[in-house]
Structure 1
């Protein structure tokens, strides 16, 4: 099964979705499974993982409803307040919904570079394992030192770095990012998504060669057995249509063996998110 391991759905709300500014007009509308399905079919992708974009449990339920109404959505990465004293109760609730495979917090939006090291947040992370939930790590490169400590603190918790940790592709900065990514990849329970790259590049003028140093780094660090393809649709539309962004990963992995390509394009995501 080929899987897009990272995409979003929303019914656009200008207040709730204030991060989608007027300059992002192309994505200031509703995006639902019926919009994505033909794109996946054209790209040869069988299924997808819907990832939260709003920090509310209403978002988690919305994504579950999307999944239940569509054959393409096989997993949901939702949101709960992992800092809450009631986190165990909320996780037990969502454990009753088999489509919910894990959770994410938008750490990149937190002003504290050491947010991931907060005791209350780590208490919530420690509670995920009881129910077999995964955790998606969404950070900027300057937050990677905290990620290093964070992943070491939870050695048995399956985690995945979203969007290669958003390296500064447009600025062609790679040194510090590479150093931290290599250290994080030493932890075998951490994976990495090949996603979200086009919006970190010069969005209107990028070339495939711009991404190669970053892709080379994560391939060397994580190996093909811990990488997974993701589109970051519809956010990717700010810089590329579905087919064009997919071609970046497809062309990059074309030199790998057929089995390694299958791992990156679906098998790894299926195992990580327990998709059958």
Structure 2
């Protein structure tokens, strides 16, 4: 099921072969352990996406770096190298063999680097200054930051330092992309996300409240068979309606393949949609079309699905949601691109 609306893919990852060993998760055996370039992305989408938003890829780092008065950045070397890599894409200055051309520069409408959120506002301020220096003329495309919480110890996002960092992002009009994982970590990640958002907004003027963009539907277990009696599903549903009450929260319909059993990934898009209806219905009810956005999670979406079909299959799942919910043109434009542009503060393309 195709869509006639312009697509801004709100969640993709890119990295060159020359920098694979800077990725914290990289091993030669990993199915994602090879270059993934703009050229590869365009081939996977068939040119269907008008633009994309890049999310940091979890480069190796040292949180403490830059905390000294000299503002050293050695431990931030790899995240800053990722910013430099995105700058080359955005400004149309490719290096040979890295899979992008000068003409691809407009495709990246925004990018979201890593940031040392647990280190507190003072360190984060120094990091942002360093990131801006490295980004140079591409800095306008940096619309926020991410620090993955899905694999961090419980309580990481509830420290005073983390909350101070979130408030700093709000004052600077930079968003925070929130990556948590209910499927593998349980309801505590949902509960902490709710508390974190409440504390980050408490006592803050409306115009300075940080915007949260929730990744991958918060990674629920999409293999649950009986959602009516599943404690996992019920906890997730409750959290979605709680999170959806906050107007500064947005949700990405993305990352679904990673949370499905392999047998479901192999099914046609129509069957996948039917299986995911309970989750997708909750997302639409909790956030509305003006606060949900399409994201592919490419190339992660290709694992167990296939490089040539994963993006199109997920796009069909979301298109079927729009059709089944009888969404009007404005609502569909929101999901396919307008919501992402609004949430990230990007000028309409």
Name the TM-score, length of structure 1 as normaliser: 0.91
Structure 1 residue ranges (4+ consecutive) displaced by more than 6 angstroms after TM superposition:
none
Mean CA deviation greater in 60-69 or 224-233: 60-69
Give 2:7's aligned residue: 2
Q: Contact (CA 8 Å) 2:12, 2:55: kept in 1 or not? A: yes
- Shift in Å, 1:23: 6.5
Give 1:259's aligned residue: 330
Residues 1:146 and 2:192 are matched in the alignment: yes
Give 1:225's aligned residue: 290
Q: Which runs of 5+ in 1 are unaligned?
A: none
Give 1:49's aligned residue: 53
Mean CA deviation greater in 148-157 or 92-101: 92-101
Give 1:74's aligned residue: 109
Q: Contact (CA 8 Å) 2:164, 2:200: kept in 1 or not? A: no
Give distance in 2, aligned partners of 1:61 and 1:250: 35
Give distance in 2, aligned partners of 1:232 and 1:169: 16
Give 2:216's aligned residue: 163
The one-character-per-residue Cα deviations of 1:213-254 (angstroms, maximum 9, x if unpaired) are 111011000011100000000000014321111111111112
Q: Which runs of 5+ in 2 are unaligned?
A: 1-5, 60-78, 93-104, 202-208, 226-231, 266-271
Give distance in 2, aligned partners of 1:131 and 1:189: 15
Name the TM-score, length of structure 2 as normaliser: 0.73
Instruction: Calculate the aligned-residue CA RMSD, in Å.
Output: 2.0
Give 1:32's aligned residue: 37
SS of alignment partner, residue 314 of structure 2 = helix
Q: Contact (CA 8 Å) 1:101, 1:274: kept in 2 or not? A: yes
How many residue pairs end up in the alignment? 273
Q: 2:172 aligns with which of 128, 131, 136?
A: 131
